[in-house]
Structure 1
Amino acid sequence: MFVKRFFIIVGILLLLIVVCGGIVAFNLFRDSAIKQYFATMKPPAATVSTVIVKPSEWTPGVEAIGTVNAVRGVDLTVETAGIVKSIMFHANQKVADNAVLLQLDDAVERADLAAAKAQNVSDQTALERAVELQRRGVGTDATLDTARATASASASQVNKLQAVLDQKQLTAPFAGTVGIPKIDLGQYLATGSSVVTLQD
């Protein structure tokens, strides 16, 4: 019984020795094979490309981040109230000096101006008649003075209505680039309403 156990133990020990020896031998062989592989491995060939050299001018420059300010910039507003009839510009458009940018409805002002001009023509005719009568000696100084005052008043009224009519248009005070429109067709604008920015 004792002898049988002894042989079993010896057999197990021998088996363990063989297994351990095999593992050690395999590791040694693997390390040797890896070293040999890397020792004999050739580096890959380098890729080389060619290009035809062409002469060109080099302009020196430096990239930088900064802020650009316009020399002149203004927020354009209307001088009088009215309904937008026409918009003669679009965003980021370059416009000339004194270019018309906006037209407000001016039908009433045009009618008033036409009536004032007709009245002024009539008053000027009456003044010329009074001057002629005075020259002939049949007119009075009072009549002539009244005719002069009336003609002068009607001429002033024409100038006033023409100025009002001119205010129905918004023009560029200088040449430059307009921004994004702040108004729409048919919109009612109060006096001083902002229309667009202009920068040169």
Structure 2
Amino acid sequence: MSIKILSWSKKRMIVSGIILFLLALGALKLRPHIFGGSNPQSEPTHVETIIVKQQPGTERFESAGTIKAYQDIILSSEVSGTIQNLAVSNAEKVQEGTILLNIRHDDILANLKKDQAVFNQKKLYFERLQHLYEKHVVSHESLSEAQSDFQQAKAMIDADQASLDKYIIKAPFAGQIGIWQIDRGQYVKPGDALVSLTALSPAYVDFMLPAKALGKIKIGDDIQFTTASFEHYTWHGKIIAIDPQLDVATRSMRLRGQIDNPDEKLVPRLYGEVVVLKPSTPQLRLPQEAIVYDPQGAFVYVLQKQTATRRQVKLGLHENDDVIVEGGLKPGDEVVTAGMMKLFPGVPVIVNKKIVQ
């Protein structure tokens, strides 16, 4: 028996034929993935979907903002004297009328006591003459003179009390004092700063917007305030004032909002971001996890007859966990929100969960 030995060229042809066969077989199996045709042997993919519907739209105007106190003053002395005592501690919260400090006022108290005694005497004399005048015992001129003396004595009491009030510093409104800038026993003179007093709730926020927003913004519009100092907080409020003049340097409109600050976290000169929210035309929204990105842009998978169809979409602003869809979808479309990793165009699907907006 003879054995035929294949030449090298024939061996190479056989090997090449086997490789071409395998490549052709692989291409047939991958064809549905490449050209989007259906594969009758593909198993359905389990997904979650959402039915898209129009929702009330919101137009946003964003700007940097600075917190301003509802009321904020520096208390200063109106008189000269020595600090007798500090009645409250640093950064203490006080009510309107609370005594904050006393400046020594012994001489004022002495004058008040002396004038009080004169006042009491003049008052009794005037009341006695009134009684006698009714009995026609004294003249009208005597009664008038006694009344004048009584009124002068009362004016002296009022003047003493007004002087005394300048030595006893009280809180003109409820708020929180700052850090004392003077100490007990220190001598102060008129104009010397004593301590700050700040009312923190509610709070103001001052911000600016471009002049093009002038016709869209009005008093009473809703605003939101956020700051990097408190990353997980959002404060809400309304616009309360719009400056009638544009800023000279920037030609922007100046606005002031009032926001609730019940926990008093917002303090004067705190920097943050203001968003003005305005109702606009209805919008289509999707959760951000429904969007798939590739070099050509953003797209979603839309279900049609229980199969997935890839559709490119035009996106707008991102708001919280949602994104506004400006093009590519219409109300009623059913969009895949979970399970996209196993999807390709034309693959059959089984919907495990469907959400209607």
Range of TM-score over shorter length? 0.5 to 0.7
Residue 161 of structure 1 corresponds to which residue in structure 2? 160
Report the equivalent of 2:121. Answer: 122
- Which residue of 2 is the match for residue 132 of structure 1? 131
Give the Cα–Cα distance (whole angstroms) in 2 for the partners of residues 174 and 132 of structure 1: 45
Secondary structure of 1:72's partner? strand
Tell me which structure has the larger Cα radius of gyration. 1
Secondary structure of the corresponding residue to residue 199 of structure 1:
strand
Q: 1:106 deviation in Å?
A: 1.8
Which structure 1 residue ranges, 4+ long, deviate > 4 Å from structure 2?
none
Name the counterpart of 1:79.
Answer: 78
Amino acid in structure 2 at the alignment position of 1:108: D
Report the CA distance between 1:134 and its aligned residue.
2.4
Aligned equivalents of 2:131 and 2:97: distance in 1?
44
Matches of 1:84 and 1:154, distance apart in 2: 30
Q: How does 1:95-110 map to 2 (within 5 A)?
A: 95-110=94-109
Higher relative contact order (CA 8 A, sep 6+): 1
Q: Once the 2 structures are TM-superposed, how far is the Cα of residue 91 of structure 1 from its aligned partner?
A: 2.2
Cross-structure match for 2:176: 177
Query: Residue 128 of structure 1: CA displacement?
Result: 2.1
Unaligned runs of 5+ in 1: 1-65
Calculate the TM-score normalised by the size of structure 2. 0.36
* Percent of residue pairs bearing the same amino acid type: 28
Are the structure 2 counterparts of residues 143 and 91 from structure 1 closer, same or farther at C-alpha, using a change threshold of 3 Å?
Answer: same
SS in 2 for 1:101: strand
- Counterpart amino acid of 2:126? L
Q: Look up the equivalent residue of 1:150 and give its one-letter code.
A: D
Q: How does 1:12-91 map to 2 (within 5 A)?
A: 68-91=67-90
How large is the RMSD of aligned CA atoms in angstroms?
2.1
* Cα shift at 1:77: 1.1
Secondary structure of residue in 2 paired with 1:191: coil
Give the structure 1 partner of residue 146 of structure 2.
147
2: CA distance, partners of 1:72 / 1:122: 45
| Equivalent position SS for 1:174 | coil
More helix by share: 1
Give the superposition deviation at 1:68. 4.5
- In 1, Cα distance between the equivalents of 2:98 and 2:134? 49
Q: Which amino acid aligns with 1:193?
A: D
Q: Compute the displacement of 1:192 (Å).
A: 2.4
Structure 1 SS opposite 2:70: coil
Looking at structure 2, the residues matched to 139 and 111 of structure 1 have their Cα atoms a distance apart, in angstroms, of 35
From the superposition, tell whether residues 133 and 72 of structure 1 become closer, same or farther in structure 2 (CA, over 3 Å): closer
CA distance, structure 2, for counterparts of residue 97 and residue 144 of structure 1: 42
Once the two structures are superposed, residues 79-124 of structure 1 have per-residue CA deviations (whole angstroms, 9 ceiling, x without a partner) of: 3222110111222222222211111112111111111111011111
Kindly provide the amino acid, as one letter, of the partner of residue 159 in structure 1: D
| Rounded Cα–Cα distance in structure 1 between residues aligned with 2:163 and 2:78 | 9
Normalized per residue, the structure richer in strand is 2
TM-score (norm 1): 0.61
* CA deviations over 1:133-187 (Å, ceiling 9, x no partner): 3233332222111101000110111111112112211111222222221111112
Aligned-partner Cα distance in 2 for 1:109–1:132: 34
> Any idea what the Cα deviations from partners look like across 1:44-70, whole Å, max 9, x if unmatched?
xxxxxxxxxxxxxxxxxxxxxx86443
Distance in 1 (alpha carbons) for counterparts of 2:66 and 2:78: 32
What is the CA–CA distance in structure 2 between the aligned matches of 1:165 and 1:199, rounded to whole Å?
25
Matched to 2:94, the amino acid is: V
Q: How far did 1:71 drift?
A: 2.8
Q: Distance in 1 between matches of 2:133 and 2:95?
A: 52
Q: Which whole-Å CA distance do the structure 1 matches of 2:172 and 2:149 have between them?
A: 36
In 2, the alpha carbon distance for the partners of 1:188 and 1:131 equals 49
